[in-house]
Amino acid sequence: MNKKIIKDTYKEIFKSRDTPSLKSHIEKFIELDKYLPYSSTFYCITNTQQLTFEFISKNMTACLGLDREELKRKGMRDFWGRMHPEDQDPWLKALNDLMEFTLSKISLQNRERISYAWNYRLKNGQGEYVNVLQNTTPLEFDSDNKPIIGLAHYTILPGEMQLGVCASAKMLNDRDQYETIYFSNFSQKLLKDGITNRERDVIRLLALDKSSKQIGENLNISSNTVDTHRRNILKKLNMSSTGELVGMLKMNRNYL
């Protein structure tokens, strides 16, 4: 799939009607970026309407070995051109399904509480493919409340890790805890599709060393219900203990 086809498909997915205002968002993130330490993560402000990166944090070069100003000048199309060919189609399908889910299932007032995540392989500045885990939180919406400006956070993992393309959506509950409301596996290589969204939330909190009582409080369910979920999770994953599950997840956080 060439870059023009990707661009056209992407613009169709995120087609919107307004021109957003970016000045205040960009100023805040430029100020913040000065104080962030170097790590295996970086972030950008993305504009899905103009297909541009409005801001790219300094860690991008350390993570991918690419020139920040050149990437900003060339925009998303150049970035997509580095995506592994096998990941392009499932990635575009993931984006399309996420937008369809948002527009059909999420009320207008709740869309500002959504965070999206997906992954793909990307060729870095050394010509090697690495895994990119992208989490995007909308910052600005068009008149139809469709996200067009986002804060995209990227985590880079070694290319040797065998990941499949998946996508998820999480929404903040009244306790400011994200709950999974959508998950789809587009490569059939990640955590089993038989795991429910609620079980994914329990797994994610277990990996943070939360007790059943704490998980129940975060998800507004009883600790007994959490214990039931834990038993079902172990059975589905053919594991003998929660410790085994947590150990696996701490080594492979992309499963969450």
Domains of the chain: 3-188 (3.30.450.20), 191-256 (1.10.10.10)
- 193 compared with 37, residue with greater pLDDT: 37
Dihedral angle computed from the Cα positions of residues 67, 71, 73 and 77, in that order, rounded to the nearest 10 degrees: 160
pLDDT digits (tens, 9 = 90+) for 41-83: 999 999 988 889 999 999 999 999 999 999 999 999 899 999 9
Predicted confidence at residue 63, as pLDDT, reads 94
Output the six-digit token pair for 204. 């994610």
Predicted confidence at residue 119, as pLDDT, reads 92
Q: Is the pLDDT of residue 225 over 90?
A: yes
Output the six-digit token pair for 31. 């100020």
Predicted confidence at residue 190, as pLDDT, reads 41
Other Cβ atoms closer than 10 A to 64:
22
Q: Which residues contact 172 (CB under 8 A, 6 or more apart)?
A: 113, 115, 178, 179
pLDDT digits (tens, 9 = 90+) for 163-178: 778 899 999 988 888 8
pLDDT band at 209 (very low <50, low <70, confident <90, very high): confident
Task: Look up tokens 């998946």; give the residue.
Answer: 166
